[in-house]
Amino acid sequence: MRRQGQLLGVEGRPLVLGHRGASAEAPENTMAAFELALEQGADGFELDVWRCASGEVVVHHDADTRRTAGEAMSLTGSSLLALRQLDVGVLKSERFRGQRIPLLEEVLEALPEAFVNVEMKSNGLPDLRLAGEVARLLERTGASARCLVSSFDPLLLAALRFKAPDVATGYLFEARPNWWAREAISTRLLRPRAVHPPFELVTPARFERWRRRGLEVNVWTVDTWEEAERLGRLGVASLITNRPAAVKAALNASTS
């Protein structure tokens, strides 16, 4: 029986999660990208959240909007009303003109069947109230059982565990010097459900060590057929990808 937030594979394969949606083809972290990921056969998607100046939990990756909207507006320093004025679709393609920064609540309510990996962002000093708001929204929307909350910031994960101890969590890390020490310390202190390593760190020996410790392994960002097949055979829980259709096809081919 699947536990709350557990990323068990389906039909002998890992779950496929669109990285910020189907972001290779649609503007990242928009409703268009999330919907396209599901249309391409993804089981769900990963998204990034901040708490904006007026208190709402908004979906965006960077700390400001220069890259997505062409105008640098701080996510944490701007109100929802101001952020909603920005078009975060047209720079990707004219056909996405009019896409706006969504609220986490809107995404969860609009796509009730999707598994969602909610990544809490921080920029230096973590906003611990973000964790409380995420916990509140998951409960309010009834989405806790289909969500996993991850972060690079251990303090945010600790705050989330305090507010919502039953919500599944994942510790994110990069291939930086001494990553293994930070991962070992953080996972032992935080006791997350999963680890989220970049694909280049996932070797058979490391995967087996994580598995023996009872950790699910959710891997980012997997965009090639070869990596999808390799990690699928290894038995990871999910693949986070910019290209859900291609990765789903690779997994299906390797299990057929």
pLDDT digits (tens, 9 = 90+) for 93-132: 999 999 999 999 999 999 999 999 999 999 989 999 999 9
Secondary structure (DSSP) of the chain? -PPTT----BTTB-EEEEETTTTTTS-TTSHHHHHHHHHTT-SEEEEEEEE-TTS-EEE-SSSBSHHHHSS--BTTTS-HHHHTTS-SSTTT-GGGTT--PPBHHHHHHH-TTSEEEEEEP-SSS--HHHHHHHHHHHHHHT-GGGEEEEES-HHHHHHHHHH-TTSEEEEE--S-TTHHHHHHHHHHHH--SEEE-BGGG--HHHHHHHHHTT-EEEEB---SHHHHHHHHHHT-SEEEES-HHHHHHHHHHHH-
Tracing tokens 């070869």 back to the chain, one arrives at 226
pLDDT-derived band at 10 (thresholds 50, 70, 90) equals: low
Specify the pTM.
Answer: 0.96
pLDDT-derived band at 2 (thresholds 50, 70, 90) equals: very low
Domains and CATH numbers, the chain: 15-255 (3.20.20.190)
